[in-house]
Amino acid sequence: MSATLEATDLHKSFGGVHAVAGVTLRVAAGELLALIGPNGAGKSTCFNMLNGQLRPDCGEVRLRGEDITGMAPRRVWRMGVGRTFQITATFGSMTVLENVQMALLSHRRRLFDLWNPVGREDPARALALLERVGMAAQAARPCGVLAYGDLKRVELAIALANDPALLLMDEPTAGMAPAERVALMELTARIARDGGIAVLFTEHDMDVVFGHADRILVLDRGRPIAEGAPEAVRADARVREVYLGTGATHGHA
Amino acid sequence: MIFGVTRIVNFAHGSFYMLGAYLAWTLVTVLPRGHLGFWGGVLAAALIVGVIGVLIEVLLLRRIYKAPELFQLLATFGVVLIVQDLALLIWGPQDLLGPRAPGLRGATEVLGVRFPLYELFLIAVGPVVLGLLWLLFHRTRWGTLVRAATADREMVGALGVNQRMLFTTVFFLGSILAGLGGALQLPRESVNLQMDLAVIAEAFVVVVVGGLGSLPGAFLAAMLIGQMQAFGILIFPKITLVLAFLVMAAVLVVRPHGLLGRPPSSAHVAQAVEPPLEATPGWGRWLLLALLALAVLVPPFLGDFALIVFTEIAIMVLFAASLHFIMGPGGMASFGHAAYFGLGAYGAALLVKHFAAPMELGLVGAPFAAGLAGVVFGWFCVRLSGVYAAMLTLAFAQIAWSAAFQWVELTGGDNGILGVWPSAWAQPKLVFYYLTLALCVAATLLLRRAIFAPFGYALRAGRDSPLRAEAIGMDGFHIRWAAFTLAAVAAGIAGGLFAYSKGSVFPTYMAIPRSVDALLMVLLGGVQTVSGPIVGALAYTWIHEQLMRLFDLWRLLLGTVILLLVLFFPQGLAGVARRRG
């Protein structure tokens, strides 16, 4: 079976620092892969190479078999990659519904429409997406006034708007209360399995990681040091050393 | 220096330069002749300008450091207007000639060419001042603090440095240097009231090319552009300013943040969240409809003068709406929107002058010419953001203005182009008014429609969160570029109509004051209200008309109005009405 996302031997250095040195990963449809590691392990760099914000020095990124290495983020999105940010990014001057509608309009390539008011668009599809993430009741509220956890849900709805094959979630539960975290990850896992969407996420909360990921890839100083099912990774000696051992952190993120 | 630390783009810097020249003229003529009189006068003038700078910083700028950039720019422009009228009051309208520098009157032979000693002296002054500044910044504690504040102002504040003191002293030194620059010009050129805006536009080009906040960059760019102009005048005497533009264009394509500039750090930028865009509330809608009804029904009963005012108001509504389109939803401040207004006017007038085109064709040519400029200038401007973009739009407008001013064969230069009259059927003032009203209202409504359509939303999306916009497949650059062009086209329609209503075009149509007119209309109405520009244009044109009619010193009053507006009504009139209503 071919994987939804296949990244091969990614490298990236900043100045003399090898932020990422030889990361290879695969995510299959419906699978949740967690990318973890101590601060400065190269998670964010790795992530940004997958979504197009950074161009890898060498290596290859393939989505459903197509080469997307170094494509601009907006083109990566059109290829079928939805993403959420560590610090939420939504359009604060628009309502929750309009935020989702923007993604839909972009998907249908209608952004240069100068004539038809957005207010008269059929909201059914956007409302259905909001329904899926449990935000339909707040559709009419401006995004600028939402609670943080709710913004994360809105981001998820936006990310789902173009029927993505892959979801990239950078610290999806950062800044949320513990109960909210579990709820959001359960929701994500359900959506992924129902829709056959591959999910790659980074996360600091180990409960979230070990509770929801199908597989875990551990990075340290830019290199993969362990990969596998949660139980196997939990038992891995090197992982224990990285997380518990010296306690020192290395390099910079 | 001032920008690096305070992050305020100071229009009034040109005024400091002009004041330096005027004060030096007064002091040098009053003081006894000789070395002490001249050099003492020059230095005293610079010091006085420094004190004036401190006064402005303490009384005005301190209150608005936290305000949006645009308001800061406007406030300093208010100062420019006030200083202009004060200078007019004190020194009168005629050009003043200063004495030559004692001891440096003669000339010397350099490579067989006679070369005035004073010019040699000036050539030396530049590097000496730069060297002194370098020493000041690298060898003193104060200089270290200034450099630290330029790199990261918040961090310096967090370390317990008295920022107020730092800002004020930086402003003092910066103003002294501006005053000194003006004072040193005294033996070379006459002192006049146009010095301020002329020098500030050039300074903006230099600063943008050099890289904002980089002193060596500014020096390098000043050398580069100075040389280009000096040698360019030998080869292409007509297009020295176009040369400066080409240099700027070339530099910005290769290095978008200037020769030695770095991308602005976004670490501490707190994004103000704009409220959702609402359609005009019920009563407001009725008010607008009532205004429109007045505009349609009343004119047949009015005299010629009132009709001219009505026509102008209709044109200004469209002009303001076109600027609002890129400023409000687009979040891009244009300080040179008059360029497109003026190019529209010139587009029509040139067709009339050189091809004897009828009005109908001229009115098609106007938006076309403006739109073309919008495509070219916009390509550069929309790459930058915030003050960088604002300065660049201003520089482009200044270039368009000087092209109209310098290229006498084509544009008639200062004399403008006369005889731009409407076709026979539209000659009666009333008919032309209705034509103007119809076109302006239609174009304004189309812009409004676009704001509520996916395009306007996409524009706002890019303003709210460029990161998210890109992540859902939006091409922010092309969207902003298209919006810029659209705004230019709309301004061009306004400009074309304006040309036919006046029967003539002049370079002043695209001068800085007209750009500021548009900004004031938008700000008066409120940037984030869709009906704002309409209300603003009405209020502003009316106030302007009254001030011009009643007072000679209308700039002084206008400047004061701007300052009051910035200090007390940052939301604009429509914004205030909304909060009450």
Q: How does pLDDT run across A124-151, given as a tens digit for each residue?
A: 999 999 999 999 999 999 998 888 889 9
Per-residue model confidence as pLDDT tens digits over B456-490: 999 999 988 999 999 999 999 999 999 999 999 99
- What pLDDT score does B559 carry? 86
- What pLDDT score does B268 carry? 39
The reply to whether B134 and B233 lie within a common domain is: no
pLDDT bin (cut points 50, 70, 90) of residue B507 is very high
Contacts of B532 (CB under 8 A, 6+ apart): B324, B328, B522, B525, B526, B572, B573, B574, B575
The reply to whether B301 and B380 lie within a common domain is: yes
- What pLDDT score does B553 carry? 78
**Mean of pLDDT values over B220-247:** 74
Top-ranked range on mean pLDDT: pick from A36-45, B29-38, B48-57, B75-84: B48-57
The reply to whether B230 and B134 lie within a common domain is: no
Domain boundary among B193, B212, B247: B193
- What pLDDT score does B238 carry? 62
Contacts of B309 (CB under 8 A, 6+ apart): B541, B545
The reply to whether B186 and B214 lie within a common domain is: no
Per-residue model confidence as pLDDT tens digits over B331-351: 888 889 999 999 999 999 999
DSSP string, B122-162: HHHHHHHHHHHHHHHHHHSHHHHHHHHHHH-HHHHHHTT--
Chosen from A111, A118, A145, A166 to mutate, greatest number of chain B CBs within 10 A: A111
In a domain, B434, yes or no: yes
- What pLDDT score does B270 carry? 41
Domain limits for position B29: 2-193
Nearest to B468 among A91, A112, A118 (CB): A91
Kindly state the tokens that stand for B571. 């939301």
Q: Which residue has the higher pLDDT, A81 or B106?
A: A81
The helix or strand, by DSSP H or E, that contains position B372, with its residue range, turns out to be helix B359-381
**Mean of pLDDT values over B78-88:** 90
The reply to whether B187 and B203 lie within a common domain is: no
In a domain, B275, yes or no: no
Q: State chain B's mean pLDDT as an integer.
A: 85
Give how many domains chain B has, as a whole number.
Answer: 3
The reply to whether B186 and B203 lie within a common domain is: no
- What pLDDT score does B539 carry? 86
**Mean of pLDDT values over B108-112:** 73
Q: State how far the Cα of B472 lies from the Cα of A74, in Å rounded to an integer.
A: 6
Q: Which residues of A187-215 are buried (b: 16+ CB within 10 A; e: fewer)?
A: ebbebbeebebbbbbbbebeebbbebbbb
- What pLDDT score does B277 carry? 66
Question: At residue B209, what is the residue type?
Answer: V
The reply to whether B181 and B235 lie within a common domain is: no
In a domain, B267, yes or no: no
In a domain, B274, yes or no: no
Whether B467 and A85 lie within 8 Å, measured CB to CB? yes
> What percentage of chain A carries pLDDT values higher than 90?
66
- What pLDDT score does A247 carry? 47
Chosen from B472, B478, B530 to mutate, greatest number of chain A CBs within 10 A: B472
Sign of the C-alpha dihedral computed for residues B287, B293, B295 and B300 taken in this order: negative
In a domain, B268, yes or no: no
Chosen from A106, A143, A160 to mutate, greatest number of chain B CBs within 10 A: A106
The reply to whether B207 and B162 lie within a common domain is: no
**Mean of pLDDT values over B496-521:** 91
The reply to whether B249 and B304 lie within a common domain is: no
**Mean of pLDDT values over B542-560:** 81
Whether A95 and B276 lie within 8 Å, measured CB to CB? yes
The reply to whether B167 and B213 lie within a common domain is: no
Which residues on A lie below 8 Å from B453 (Cβ)? 113-118
pLDDT bin (cut points 50, 70, 90) of residue A159 is very high
User: Are B71 and B64 in contact, with CB atoms under 8 Å apart?
Assistant: yes
Q: Long-range CB contacts (< 8 A, 24+ apart) of A47-54? A: A47/A168, A47/A170, A47/A200, A47/A202, A49/A7, A49/A10, A49/A12, A49/A20, A50/A5, A50/A7, A50/A81, A50/A168, A50/A200, A51/A76, A51/A81, A51/A83, A51/A168, A51/B471, A52/A76, A54/A12
Which residues on A lie below 8 Å from B271 (Cβ)? 92
**Mean of pLDDT values over B210-230:** 79
DSSP string, B333-363: --S-THHHHHHHHHHHHHHHHHH---HHHHH
Q: State how far the Cα of B371 lies from the Cα of A4, in Å rounded to an integer.
A: 45
The reply to whether B102 and B115 lie within a common domain is: yes
In a domain, B421, yes or no: yes
In a domain, B269, yes or no: no
Q: State how far the Cα of B578 lies from the Cα of A29, in Å rounded to an integer.
A: 51
User: Are A26 and A83 in contact, with CB atoms under 8 Å apart?
Assistant: no
Domain boundary among B193, B214, B245: B193
The reply to whether B436 and B530 lie within a common domain is: yes
**For residue A1, pLDDT beyond 60:** no
- What pLDDT score does A253 carry? 39
- What pLDDT score does B189 carry? 80
Q: State how far the Cα of B175 lies from the Cα of B254, in Å rounded to an integer.
A: 32
Nearest to A106 among B271, B273, B472 (CB): B472
- What pLDDT score does B271 carry? 46
- What pLDDT score does A98 carry? 94
- What pLDDT score does B236 carry? 66
Whether B472 and A117 lie within 8 Å, measured CB to CB? no
Out of A81-85, B129-133, B272-276, B366-370, which region has the weakest mean confidence (pLDDT)?
A: B272-276
Predicted TM-score (pTM) of this structure: 0.87
Domain boundary among B153, B176, B193: B193
**For residue B266, pLDDT beyond 50:** no
Compare all CA atoms of chain A with the CA of B275 and give the residue at the minimum distance: A93
Nearest to A93 among B446, B450, B464 (CB): B464
pLDDT bin (cut points 50, 70, 90) of residue B566 is confident
**For residue A109, pLDDT beyond 50:** yes
The helix or strand, by DSSP H or E, that contains position B490, with its residue range, turns out to be helix B476-502
pLDDT bin (cut points 50, 70, 90) of residue B406 is confident
In a domain, B313, yes or no: yes
How many CA atoms lie less than 13 Å away from B279 in the CB half-sphere? 12
Per-residue model confidence as pLDDT tens digits over B160-189: 888 788 889 988 999 999 999 999 888 888
**For residue A210, pLDDT beyond 80:** yes
Q: Is the ipTM of this complex over 0.90?
A: yes
